[in-house]
A and B are shown apart, each in its own frame.
Chain A
Amino acid sequence: MNIRRVSALAQRVMRQILRDVRTVTLLIVAPMLLLSLGAVLFRSDPPRLSLGIVNEDAGVPLPSVGTLVLGDRIVRRLADSDAFDLVSLQPEEIDARLRDGTVEGVLILAADLSATFQRERQVTLDLRLEGSNPTRSTTVTARVTEAAMKALAGLAATSPDLPVAAGDAAELPVAVETSYLYAGDEFDGLDFVAPVYIAFLALFFVFLLTCVSFIRERSQGTFERLLATPATRLEIVLGYMVGLGLFALLQVAVILLFTVWVIQISYLGHLGLLFLIVALLAVVGVNLGILASAFARTEFQVVQFIPLLIIPQALLGDVFWAIEDLPAHLQPLARIMPITYANRALRAVMLKGWGLAEIWHDLAVLAGIAVLLLALGALTMRREV
């Protein structure tokens, strides 16, 4: 082994990278960008959610406190905890309020709550959730449980005749029984993730395929030759969209049928509608690729778009957090991301069983983004190769 040769090679490699200002910039800027994005997201305060309360607890006489109304105590704790905007509801309006999204969940405190507690030394809370966003469901359940435990702990401290130990909160006998408006018990964790998973795969691979085909057209010189024909830029872009779009549709079909038949995901809505949403997103992916490749000369520069264009969509696009739960300054960013609309529509169809009438505006936005990207792609296409 010759050290000089190795060092000459190393120097050549370094020199080449340093000449590519963009790569060096990206190497330094991209991690900072993604780290700050992650920091903002994971550190952001959990949002206040609206919780409906149906409090029918009749209470039970208890010597040390007079009448014990456990329901009232839990509601007071919930109000103190500042985690929820509480809305008092009648039992018959529970599902309607969940459906129109004015409350995220409803805590139902049964008439015999206190009585059962005295008899069985166990608090069982009935929590009904909207159910389509697992992050929110978990948050609501955890906060309600916490409030109930605090209520019990406070009670134990003042009422020695209660069968509750004032010690470890984890041993307090609180159970939360959740039921869901959408998505029943047959749904498991994967079913909640599946919609965004599908959307992300469809967008990502089609984007890469498009970028690479376009770059190859440039590097082999055929792009210049194409521009020296009567073909207009719009024609070229449309040709690419149709040609690659067909493969995108094929991929979408494979992804969907595989998730439904082989992975056996549970979903509610119509499969054709799912196909429509993902297909639209795939077309967006093609057009995004066409636009992006106008700013790249090599395959490597295409790969550099992934941390800039794709990963932020995975973080912000209604994947882990609903848009409304994002820090305010990130919300506009999420609203221009195509994957946001695809995720929302997919969730609505797969978890809530919604139809075209309810999600058409998300589809319209997706189609609008596709057209906009196509126009931008045609406009920014470089004549000079």
Chain B
Amino acid sequence: MDAPVWTHQLSKRFGSLRAVDGVDLSVRSGEIYGLLGPNGSGKTTLIRLLVGLLRSTSGHAMVLGHAMPTKAVLAQVGYMTQASALYDDLTVRENVAFFAAMCGAVDRTRVEEAIALVEMDDRARSLVRTLSGGMKQRTSLACALVHRPRLLLLDEPTVGIDPQLRAVFWSYFRRLADSGVTLVISSHVMDEAERCDRLGLLRQGRLLAEGSADELRARVGASTLEEAFLYYTEL
């Protein structure tokens, strides 16, 4: 059970809505795990359960060996959403340094490294307010990984950014995975799913299938991931 993320029958209800419904997840160390599903399939709720922003209705979630929610483990977890969630009236560097401090990373060089990784060095002293959407998203990513987390939980990190930057983001993700970081990335875009090592297909809060894109296609004899997804949906 040394999986960075492991859940057993994890469920979350909002009133009568089963947002996450009996999910068994097992993410391997150093892989990019994609949570694939349409809007409203429970991706965000699942990730919020993993990061401890929500408390599960039933079931268990283990993150880096700790039952969630556990505050201490968050020092080794990076979290990012599609909304850039930055302080508009602070500079790029101040934002990154703040979240570094929140996660207990006091080393200034880490801040510079994170800013360099997302190629924001030349705008490090700009106020976030003055940045474009894509730059904000890069800064947001820098905030999520400045404390060198072992696990990154990214909720639709590439929504609303242009294809070019999306490619750049995925090259960052791959580089991080190669250095041993585990990434859980949610998306509803099929071509992004191809870049993940393994995928979990989510629909109406249930995990329909799990495996690499090739496995998922081969298992049902589908030629595209989309086809495979539809097949699993109808099961």
- A222 contacts across to B, CB distance below 8 A: 85-87
- CB-CB under 8 A from B77, the residues of chain A are 228
A119 adjacent to chain B (CB < 8 Å): no
Number of chain B interface residues as a range: 20 to 34
Residue B103 CB within 8 A of the other chain: yes
Partner of A230, one of B54, B72, B81: B72
Q: Are B74 and A230 in contact (CB under 8 A)?
A: yes
Residues from chain B with a CB closer than 8 A to the CB of A230 are: 71-72, 74-75, 102-104
Most buried by B among A220, A230, A383, A384: A230
- A residues 360-385 near B (Cβ < 8 Å) are 383-385
Which A202-251 residues have C-beta < 8 A from chain B?
Answer: 220-222, 224-232
Complex Cα gap A92–B205 (Å): 85
Q: What is the CB-to-nearest-CB distance from A361 to chain B, in angstroms, rounded to a whole number?
A: 38
A interface footprint on B162-176 (CB within 8 Å = 1, 0 otherwise): 000000000000000
Q: State the CA gap A331–B102 with chains docked (Å).
A: 44
Contact status A228-B87, CB under 8 Å: no
B57 smallest CB distance to A (angstroms): 14
> Is the pair A383, B87 in contact by a Cβ cutoff of 8 Å?
no
User: In this complex, what residue of B is CB-closest to A233?
Assistant: B71
**Residues of the B chain whose Cβ atoms lie less than 8 Å from the Cβ of A224:** 53, 81, 85
Chain B interface mostly helix, strand, loop or mixed?
A: loop
A220 partner residues in chain B, CB cutoff 8 A: 85-88
**Is B84 a contact partner of A221 (Cβ separation < 8 A)?**
yes
- Asked if B52 CB lies within 8 Å of chain A CBs, one says yes
Q: Is the CB of A221 within 8 A of B99?
A: no
With a cutoff of 8 Å between Cβ atoms, the chain A residues found around residue B74 in the complex are: 228-230
Residues from chain B with Cβ under 8 Å of A384 in the complex: 53-54
Q: Mark B82-121, 1 if CB is under 8 A from A, else 0.
A: 0111111000000000010011100000000000000000
A233 to chain B, nearest CB (A): 10
In the assembled complex, the Cα of A95 lies from the Cα of B143 at a distance in Å of 67
Task: Give residues of chain B (32-53) contacting chain A, Cβ–Cβ below 8 Å.
Answer: 51-53
CA distance A385 to B54 in the complex (A): 10
Report Cα–Cα, A222/B144, bound state, in Å: 12
B24 vs chain A, min Cβ distance (A):
23
B79 CB–A CB distance under 8 Å: yes
Residues of chain A at interface, number, CB under 8 A: 15
Segment 319-375 of A: residues with Cβ below 8 Å from B: none
Contact status A383-B88, CB under 8 Å: no
CA distance A226 to B52 in the complex (A): 12
Measured CA separation A381–B177 after assembly (Å): 35
Output the least CB separation between A181 and chain B (Å).
53
Given the interface pairs A220-B85, A221-B85, the reply to whether A227 lies near B102 with Cβ below 8 Å is no
Chain B proximity of A231: nearest CB distance (Å) = 5
Q: Which residues of A contact B99 (CB under 8 A)?
A: 225, 229
B51 proximity list for chain A (CB < 8 A): 228
Q: Could you tell me the distance between the alpha carbons of A385 and B48 in the complex, rounded to whole angstroms?
A: 11
Task: Report B-chain residues with C-beta under 8 Å of the C-beta of A383.
Answer: 53-55
Q: Would you call B102 and A231 a contact (CB within 8 A)?
A: yes
Which residues of A sit under 8 angstroms from B54, Cβ to Cβ?
383-384
Closest B residue to A225 by beta carbon equals: B85
- Once A221-B81, A232-B71 are accepted as A-B contacts, the answer to whether A227 and B86 lie under 8 Å apart by CB is no
Q: Which chain A residues (157-181) contact chain B, with CB distance < 8 Å?
A: none
- In angstroms, Cα B95 to Cα A220, docked, is 13
Quote the shortest CB–CB distance from B59 to chain A (angstroms).
18
Closest to B104 in A: A230
Would you give the shortest CB distance from B152 to chain A, in whole angstroms?
Answer: 11
**Known A221-B81, A383-B53, A384-B53: A229·B87 in contact at CB below 8 Å:** no
* Chain B, residue nearest A229 (CB): B102
Docked Cα-Cα span, A325 to B91, in Å, equals 54
Residues of A close to B79: CB separation below 8 A: 225, 228
A306 and B195 CA atoms in complex are apart in Å by 53
B83 contacts across to A, CB distance below 8 A? 221
CA distance A384 to B53 in the complex (A): 7
Chain B residue with the shortest CB-CB distance to A223: B85
Smallest beta-carbon distance B230→chain A, Å:
33
Cα distance, A223 to B106, chains bound together (Å): 21
Task: Given A220-B87, A220-B88, answer yes or no on A228-B71 (Cβ-Cβ < 8 Å).
Answer: no
The listed residue with most A CB atoms (<10 A of its CB), out of B54, B55, B85, is: B85
Chain B 112-156: CB-based contact to A (< 8 A → 1; otherwise 0):
000000000000000000000000000000010000000000000
15 residue pairs A–B, Cβ–Cβ below 8 Å:
A220-B88, A221-B81, A222-B85, A222-B87, A224-B81, A225-B79, A227-B52, A228-B52, A228-B77, A230-B74, A230-B75, A230-B103, A231-B71, A384-B54, A385-B53
The 4 closest A-B pairs by CB, nearest first: A221-B85, A228-B79, A229-B102, A221-B83
Given A221-B85, A229-B103, output 9 extra A-B contacts at Cβ < 8 Å: A221-B83, A221-B84, A224-B81, A227-B52, A227-B53, A229-B99, A230-B102, A231-B102, A384-B54
